Every structure is written in structure tokens, then in C-alpha cells.
Amino acid sequence: MKFDNRIRDDFYIFRSKFRRRIASTFLSFGLSILDRNLTKVPNEILHRIPDLNLSITKKNRGLFELFYRNEATAKLWFDGECKKAIIAQKDIFSELYEHLGLNNNSHFPTFMSSNWTNRIGHFSYLGVYLKAQEMKLIPEQKRFLLRNNREANLDLFKSVSKHFHVIDFASGTDWTELPNFWHTFERLDIVKTNQDFMHIYELFEKVMSTRKILGEGNKPILTLDSEYILHSSNVIENLGLPKDSKFVGLHIREANGSRNLRSQPINSYIPAINFIIAKGYSVVRIGDRDVTKFPPMKGLIDLPASNVLTNTLDAFVLGKSSFFIGTNSGPANIPMLYGVPTLHTNSTSIGKNMLTFNQGSKYLPKVFYTKNNRKLSLSELLESPIAGYSEHNRDQMLKAGLKFENNSPEDILDGVKEMMEQEEKDLRQSEVSTFEKSINEIREEFKPIGYGDFSNSFLEKNADWFLV
């Protein structure tokens, strides 16, 4: 049959590549558990691990069919059909549990899969997951976190790993993403909660909006190691940050190619940087070494341009800033874990990416236009899979005649002024947008995934077309 042949062809590579790795991995897995006296792995978990044979058999055919259906949801997500993708993924996981004979109300994964720590932004989901356990949305249990020496940031890993049993896997952990283990390893996209399955974005929104209602939105979820903070303070003081002075963190995503919808030029941030420095604060920028460097500015510490191992200071900047300025990139998700508010500039895909963060965090969205140069309103963005939900499929956006405009230097400056006023007057708790009712009515109609707060400065300038 055509479908069976396709599966066999695709998984021939899987079989040859992973068979020996899985055998050695399971050996190291068992030894790691014994080595650390972690003997509380439920028997149910171990005896329900399916046959590791990666070729297609009657026994595991259903698992591979679920795998292919799950792969198809990735295209839905890429095309901006995110809500459809989430519904499909939940159905797949319900069928998986039924296929394996697992009780949907009592079975919960004990291990976290490898993807939770391999990108810096994923640490925010791990922090939210821990908070969800505290809120009883997920059963409280100290789960197992795999370490394969490919963590996106070692200092953030140390901050979060104290809440898990850590198991080292020198041989790699890619195998945890195979469908055989989806019930055993909590995957990053679909999470098992006390109610049912939830997408991680839905869980993020549930946890953070509840914290906001309860007035807990400013409380840190995680803490950085005190010795790390002291060491980082000394290192960054040698780079020019006065001891115990206030600073604002900055990260600007830069990239070329098909995903440049998420990128923006650094020169549009210079007026905002000058304003912050004039207010007596320093600005500390983080990023990869190959980013465009700023011209020398007194009060700006451009870590990518320094001669130190700058990524060792990233967690310090993300967790200790007075507030943080970020873009549509992983680092902007981290400060809220440590109680730091973030100004999300040049935001895209606001239907899904504009999640509720801690109180005081704001979004400045990019402006989208039709081919007739008419600006798209919030309603139109939330109705459009391409403009409102897919920051990756720029080719599709161009075919539809849509184009976008980055935040101007004035937009960013006004957003920063709003954040600075909030910081100086501690307005985070009491501030309510005068546009909140209009925004809520639009969101109620279109029901996006994310419900974060727009910058008032953006709304005040653009409400006449944005909120129609």
C-alpha cells in the first residue's frame, strides 16, 4: 500500500540511525538512574514503553500513523492555522493514550523531553510548567529533566534544574521525540494537565493570566544563583557598568532569509537608548557575536562587541534588568520568570505570540498593510492566519499582497518612555488601559491564543484605525 511504503521509506533512515543509539541510550539511562538512586520511576512507565523496533509492524503501525498526522500539524502551524493545529494535536494525543490503554485521568508523563532546554526561549515554558504544578493545573511531582550538554544557556538551566531530577545523557536525547515515548516524556507542544491536554501556549496564557488576576504578576517564578549574580556583577562592572547601578537589558533579533519578518534594524533603537542613558540608567545589550554592532555610546555596554564570553552574562542581564527591551525572539520570554517586565518591540503574529506576561510587560506590534497600502486593524490581524499567526511563512504573505512596517525610532522611544514612567512610579499594579474594553470586545469575537497587553503609546497613536 502507498501509505505503508511511504512509512517504510522514511523510517529506513530512522532505523539505521537510531537503533544503536537507542540501545546505548537506554543503557546509560538505567545506569544514570541507579547511579543517582532515583528508584521511584513508576513501573507503569517502564512496562508501557512500546517495542523499540523502528520498522513498521502490526504492533506499532498505529503509533507511526499518529506520528505522520502530528507532522502534518506542523504545516498547519507554519501556515498560521495554529488553532486548527492545536485541536488536531490534542486529538492525536487522546488517541495515543487510547491506543496504549492508558487512563487519561491518571497517567502523566514523568520525564521532560529534550526540547524544553535546547533553545533559550523554551526555559520560559519550563518555568510556567513549574508554576502550573504549583497552581494544581498539573499534578505536583518532581519530574526528571534530561541533560545532553546542548542547553541553550547553562546558567538558566542551573536556575530551573533545581526543581527537577537531572539525568545526564552524553549520547544525546533526540530519541525522546519518537512517538514510542510521547506518553513517557512530556513534549514541549502538548502538555498533559489535570483537565486534559493543553498546548504549551494555552498553558502559558492560563498560568500568567491567573497570576495577573491574583495580583501575583510581579512575583518571580525562578531565582538565579546568588554566587552567579555576584560573579556576573563583578564581570560586568569591569566592562563599564557602575556597581549597583540600574540598567535596562536589550536584545534585537537580526537575521536574513525567509524568516526576516521577525528581524529589525538596530538603528531604530538608538533614540530610545539615548533616552534611557539620559535618565541615569545604563543599557546592556546581549546577542550573538555576529550581530551588527552599535557605535560607541557612553552608558551602552554592547556585550556582543566585548572580548568576554558574553553568553555567561545573558542570564544576569535577563534576570536583573530594571526592565527589558526585546523582539520576537527567545530572550524576550525570559525576564518575566525573574519578575522583570519586558517591552516586546516589533511584535509579529500577535494572535499567538502576544501572550500574557508579567504585569508591566507591553507589546509594540509591527504594522501590516494590504496591497492597497491600507493598514490592517486588530480584527483583521486576528482573522488572518498569515498576518496574525504565521511569522515564518513570509512567502505566503507576499503572495497575498501583504507587507509590513517595523516600529519606527519614535514608536520605540515612546514605548520606552512608558516603561520608564512605569518603573519610576511603580505603576505596574494599578495601570489599566483606556482601550481595554475595545480590545476585549475584539478578542472575544476572534478568540486568539494570546491576550497580552499593548503599549498604551501605540494605542494612543493608532486607535483610530487599529481598533475599528
What is the DSSP-derived secondary structure letter of residue 454?
B
User: Which residues on neighbouring strands pair with residue 284, listed in sequence order?
Assistant: 249, 301
Which of these three, 185, 213, 241, is where a domain ends? 213
Specify whether 161 is located in the same domain as 252: no
The tens digit of pLDDT for each residue in 342-360 reads: 999 999 999 999 999 999 9
Specify whether 69 is located in the same domain as 120: yes
Split into its structural domains, the chain has a count of: 2
Which of these three, 190, 213, 236, is where a domain ends? 213
Specify whether 230 is located in the same domain as 124: no
Calculate ∠ Cα 44-46-52, nearest 5°.
Answer: 130
Specify whether 246 is located in the same domain as 353: yes
User: Is 221 contained in some domain?
Assistant: no
- DSSP H or E stretch at residue 287: none
Question: What average pLDDT score do residues 169-175 get?
Answer: 73
C-alpha cell at 456: 498604551
Positive or negative: CA dihedral 442, 90, 164, 329: negative
User: Using 50, 70 and 90 to split pLDDT, how confident is the model at 57?
Assistant: low
- Give the pLDDT of residue 161: 93
Which burial class, exposed, middle or buried, applies to 67 when counting CB atoms under 10 A from its CB (0-12, 13-18, 19+)?
Answer: buried
Structural domain containing residue 103: 2-213
Instruction: Tell me the C-alpha to C-alpha distance, in Å, between residue 167 and each of 28, 38, 113, 319, 408.
Output: 10, 9, 12, 26, 47
- Give the pLDDT of residue 309: 63
Which residue is it, cell 562592572? Answer: 237
In angstroms, the CA 102 to CA 47 distance is: 12
In angstroms, the CA 177 to CA 179 distance is: 6
- Residue 30 above 70 pLDDT? no
Is residue 169 within 8 Å of 148, Cβ to Cβ? yes
Specify whether 151 is located in the same domain as 283: no
Specify whether 168 is located in the same domain as 310: no
- Give the pLDDT of residue 310: 61
The tens digit of pLDDT for each residue in 231-268 reads: 999 999 999 998 889 999 999 998 754 457 888 999 99
- Give the pLDDT of residue 419: 96
User: Is 219 contained in some domain?
Assistant: no
User: Is 220 contained in some domain?
Assistant: no
- Give the pLDDT of residue 455: 96
